[in-house]
Amino acid sequence: MNDWLGRTAPDVETIERMARAAVDELPPQFRAPAREVMIRVEEFPPEELLDEMNIESPFELTGLYDGIPLTQKSVMDVVDRPDMIWLFRRPILDEWAERGDVTLGQLVAHIMVHELAHHFGWTDEQIARIDRWWE
């Protein structure tokens, strides 16, 4: 119980390190292309994004892929911004505390795999092979 005395909640840099570690654990054929996706960690999703997605509570969104999936990219595309995965620290911490049965690293990895699935165009079966939690 005393292990938590003097400790603070993981900051955005810690969450980002966990996300990068999750990328490093991907099957070899996905690691390099996944490393090209930017990772950005913020406290909460922006209000405009929540409004656009019709989400009432900022705690409902833990992550978001923003980009053009590889299955839809063309050499003719004009790239106006890099592919990015947004992670939202406070909603992630809230879900972690609410679950109470997974490590924070496991939860961040799960969110990363889910968001990378949008980037790679993975099917549910492909996701389940990478993230056993998905089953």
Q: So what's the pLDDT on residue 1?
A: 54
Q: Give burial (CB, 10 Å; 0-12/13-18/19+) of 8.
A: exposed
Coil, strand or helix: which one is 127? helix
The per-residue pLDDT for range 6-56, each reduced to its tens digit, is 788 899 999 999 999 999 999 999 999 999 999 999 999 999 999 999 999
Question: Does this model's pTM top 0.85?
Answer: yes
**Using CA atoms in the order 67, 73, 75, 77, what is the torsion angle rounded to 10 degrees?**
-50
Q: Which residues 6+ apart lie within 8 Å of 52 measured at CB?
A: none
Buried b (16+ CB within 10 A) or exposed e, 48-76: ebbeeeeeeebbebbbbbbbeeeeeeeee
Q: So what's the pLDDT on residue 61?
A: 97
Identify which of 40-44, 66-70, 97-101 has the greatest average pLDDT: 40-44
Q: Which CATH number is 2-69+81-134's, of 3.30.2010.20, 3.40.50.300, 1.10.10.10, 3.10.50.40?
A: 3.30.2010.20
Q: So what's the pLDDT on residue 7?
A: 81
Q: So what's the pLDDT on residue 107?
A: 96
Q: So what's the pLDDT on residue 20?
A: 97
Measured CA to CA, the distance from residue 119 to residue 34 in angstroms comes to: 8
Q: So what's the pLDDT on residue 2?
A: 63
Q: So what's the pLDDT on residue 133?
A: 72
